[in-house]
Amino acid sequence: MNFDLTMPAQLTSALGPDLLLMGGAMLLLLFAGWRPESDEHQRTVGILSMALCIFTMVAVGYYAYAGYTASVGVIAVDNFRWATDEILLIATLGTIAMSLDYNVREGITPGETHVLLLLATSGMMILAAARDLIIVFLGIELMSIAVYVLVGVNRRTERSAEGAIKYFLLGAFSTAFLLYGIALVYGATGATNFVEIRANIVRFSLEHNGLLLVGIALILVGFGFKIAAAPFHMWAPDAYEGAPTPITAYMAAAVKGAAFAALFRLWLEAFPTLLYIWHEAVWWLAAITMVVGNLVALAQRNIKRLLAYSSIAHAGYILVAIVVGTSLGSAAFMFYLFAYTIATLGAFAVVVALGRPGEDNMNIEDYAGLWSVRPGLAVAMAVFMLALLGFPIFGGIGFFAKWYVLQAALQAPFPQTRLAVLLVITSVVSAGYYLYVVMVMFMKPRTSAVVPARPSGWTRAVVWASAAIILIFGLFPDAIVALTQRSEPSVNTQPASPARGHVAMQSH
Amino acid sequence: MEPHYPLFYVFHFYLFGVIALASAVVFVTRKSPVAAALWLVNTMFSLAALYVMLDAQFIGVMQVLVYAGAIMVVFLFVVMLLNLGHPSALADARGLGWRLAAGLVGLGLLSEIMIIIRAKLPQQLIVPRDFNEQQLEKLNAVGMVAAPLFRDYLLAFELTSVLLLVAIAGAVILGRGRTVRAR
């Protein structure tokens, strides 16, 4: 079926899964406020939220299976959107499962925290679908405002408040950049729709228009903050450390993934003809992010901060896939997003499982000798670390994710040999901190006499499900690869003027 | 070719422009937050007047209602509730480094505005001078606002309501004061 997006009824059908999640979340919001706060009620709301997530995943799967398409309009109906949606919903599901018992342990009683997660996810799904700058902006705000609240929800700790305020202020700052950029692009092209922007750039030959170029630069800065790419990453470690651990996992996996998806679609659908201009900027952004993220991560001794810097480094790797552009890049992008999301969720689930009330037990040294007391968790954490590192076999899909990004970089129309080399070098550097965690767990003697309590069923489920996905699909990656290869944005993404782009590319 | 504007128009353009700039300078140099906020109101009003002169009456009205009205009231509420009104109680937290950084950002924005002014807009996008009158005849005053809002940008309009719901729910959760159980 081909949706005509100018008709409100068909626009509503095209937004089916998004509306299901939003409507369900609103009903759950009513239900959450219906009874007094208690740990039991919080768990009930959480389990219902997980059920809603699964329903939405089924709906997304049905839409993808039915092969719906749409006319050019405010939203896109294509496999890129469905693939991103599924990854985001998996991340949300894992986050809620982790927070069920975490919230009890930390004394966070409102069930509304789960509902806010769902509403943030609906904003992300809008972001994955958006084909209009106004919708992109609203999706980002819907996602960000819910997450600002979630970061600061544990008001007992000062760190949480500090992280929330920093995140909020810098988030608002970056939104201002984004909005300014959107306004300038609209001023130059007279359109907010991606496809119209692209057409108008060619029609009015705006390739060297100052207004448009400044607008694109500001949009890139705004997105740079959201995906925590260096040098716009300063807020990330503090916000990640201060947030409740499940929310940190959510920020590292889903928030980043959704912003990347929107950036990818915007770049490839609206500005493919300006490839030779934004390409250079994104190239440098990717290079600096990989170097800074990995080098600073080496010095971290707090596991949450270490994972925060690791997520900055991974933003750099994903940017490499964006630099590649084309459908090759989009397949590598989607595969990487999937592998990174699963590995990040699993790693944070282990952190949640080993945490103690009051966000204690967060130093890497606290994990010393974990192998002797909780061998299962130690092995799982080793798998996640190796997956994030991109180690063959034991790192499962993490290895293939990096492999496909490298392949895409080398086979691109303009091969990105230098970026590929930089990616490999920085990955080797990252072994310094990923393997350090593994070494501490397996080889250092246990320092404290306290044996960590057996983690709760939900957290264990997230740990083992993530580890199983990483290892099983690591042995049989073809299924995922086939899916990702069909998940490119529906608008033709080939650069319109490769000859000019090629000249600019020679400088690298 | 530069269109010719009547002297009356030019006079008011410069008048409101100067008021807006002067108020903005006074706004950033005040030590008392209340005085600064009130000068900001002045800037907002002058900007609204400039919008009206550009035939953007709706944006002008919104500027007064939203910025000069609602947002400034919230500013003043926060300042007074937190009792930040006494300038002596506020140590000047802005060191030299911050001032230099702010100056650099300001210079960056200025150079960016210079680039924008030099940029040539495609002629096809510039609306004819009697565009507003034509639209007014075709759609009348309500239709000019309603048609884009409820037809072209319907999804954006609806998403904004979800956004507001999330903001309210979040504010209630954070403001309820017992988000965490006493241990």
| pLDDT tens by residue, A289-312 | 999 989 988 888 888 889 999 999
pLDDT in tens, A54-98: 999 999 999 988 888 887 788 888 888 999 999 999 999 999 999
Contact in structure between A160 and A152 (CB atoms under 8 Å): yes
Helical (H) or strand (E) element with A69: strand A69-70
B182 touches chain A (CB under 8 A): yes
First-last CA distance in chain A: 45
Residue A3 is given by DSSP the state E
Contact in structure between A396 and A471 (CB atoms under 8 Å): yes
**B140-166: average pLDDT:** 87
Task: Tell me which amino acid residue A12 is.
Answer: T
pLDDT at position A19, please?
94
First-last CA distance in chain B: 74
Q: How far apart are CA A304 and CA A347, in angstroms?
A: 10
B142 touches chain A (CB under 8 A): no
Residues B116, A110: C-beta atoms closer than 8 Å: no
CB atoms within 10 A of CB A462: 25
For residue B175, what is the nearest residue in chain A, using CA coordinates? A153
Residues A11, B180: C-beta atoms closer than 8 Å: no
Contact in structure between A298 and A266 (CB atoms under 8 Å): no
Residues B115, A214: C-beta atoms closer than 8 Å: yes
Contact in structure between B159 and A139 (CB atoms under 8 Å): yes
For residue B171, what is the nearest residue in chain A, using CA coordinates? A149
Copy the structure tokens of residue A248. Answer: 């940190």
Total structural domains within chain A: 1
pLDDT in tens, A432-484: 899 998 888 888 888 777 777 778 888 899 999 999 999 888 888 887 787 87
CB atoms within 10 A of CB A492: 12
Give the closest residue to A196 by CA, choosing from A122, A120, A125, A133: A133
pLDDT in tens, A316-325: 999 988 888 7
Residues in chain B closer than 8 A to A142 (CB atoms): 159, 162-163, 166
Task: Tell me which amino acid residue A89 is.
Answer: L
pLDDT at position A494, please?
41
Residues in chain B closer than 8 A to A18 (CB atoms): none
Cα A83 from chain centroid? 13
Question: Closest partner residue to B154 among A8, A148, A206, by Cβ?
Answer: A8
What SS3 state is found at A508? coil
What is this structure's pTM?
Answer: 0.89
The number of C-alpha atoms within 13 Å of A128 and in the hemisphere containing its C-beta is 31
Copy the structure tokens of residue A141. Answer: 């705000």
Residues B174, A210: C-beta atoms closer than 8 Å: no
pLDDT bucket at B177, cuts 50 / 70 / 90: low
pLDDT in tens, A261-272: 999 888 888 888
Residues A116, B169: C-beta atoms closer than 8 Å: yes
Q: Provide the mean pLDDT of chain A.
A: 86
Least confident window among A104-113, A169-178, B126-135: B126-135
Q: How far apart are CA B15 and CA B22, in angstroms?
A: 11
Residues in chain A closer than 8 A to B118 (CB atoms): 210
The whole-angstrom distance between B7's CA and the closest CA on chain A is 28
Q: How far apart are CA A317 and CA A395, in angstroms?
A: 17
For residue B174, what is the nearest residue in chain A, using CA coordinates? A153
B167 touches chain A (CB under 8 A): yes
| pLDDT > 50? residue B127 | yes
pLDDT bucket at A504, cuts 50 / 70 / 90: very low
Contact in structure between A362 and A303 (CB atoms under 8 Å): yes
B79: Cβ–Cβ under 8 A, 6 or more apart, which residues?
B33, B34, B37, B85
With b meaning 16 or more CB within 10 Å and e meaning fewer, what string describes B133-161? eeeeeeeeeeebeeeeeeeebbbbebbee
| pLDDT > 70? residue A359 | no
For residue A23, what is the nearest residue in chain B, using CA coordinates? B162
The whole-angstrom distance between B25's CA and the closest CA on chain A is 21
Q: How far apart are CA A276 and CA A189, in angstroms?
A: 19
pLDDT at position B2, please?
58
Question: Closest partner residue to A108 among B116, B171, B180, by Cβ?
Answer: B180
Residues A135, B159: C-beta atoms closer than 8 Å: yes
Q: Of residues B44 and A355, which shows the higher confidence score? A: B44
Residues in chain B closer than 8 A to A132 (CB atoms): 156
A429 touches chain B (CB under 8 A): no
pLDDT at position B96, please?
79
B101 touches chain A (CB under 8 A): no
Q: How far apart are CA B45 and CA B41, in angstroms?
A: 6
Report phi then psi at A70, rounded to 5: -150, 155
| pLDDT > 90? residue B165 | yes
**A375-396: average pLDDT:** 88
A183 touches chain B (CB under 8 A): no
pLDDT in tens, B19-70: 999 999 998 888 777 888 889 889 999 999 999 988 888 889 988 998 888 8
Residues in chain B closer than 8 A to A112 (CB atoms): 169, 172-173
Chains A–B, number of C-beta pairs less than 8 Å apart: 112
What SS3 state is found at A356? strand
| pLDDT > 60? residue B180 | no
For residue A157, what is the nearest residue in chain B, using CA coordinates? B180
| pLDDT > 90? residue B126 | no
Question: Closest partner residue to A138 among B119, B156, B183, by Cβ?
Answer: B156
pLDDT in tens, A7-63: 888 888 889 899 999 999 999 999 998 888 888 899 999 999 999 999 999 999 999
A216 touches chain B (CB under 8 A): no
- Domain around A120: 2-507
What SS3 state is found at A98? helix
What SS3 state is found at A415? coil
What SS3 state is found at A91? helix
ipTM value for the complex: 0.86
Residues in chain A closer than 8 A to B163 (CB atoms): 123, 138, 141-142, 145
B139: Cβ–Cβ under 8 A, 6 or more apart, which residues?
B147
pLDDT at position A495, please?
39
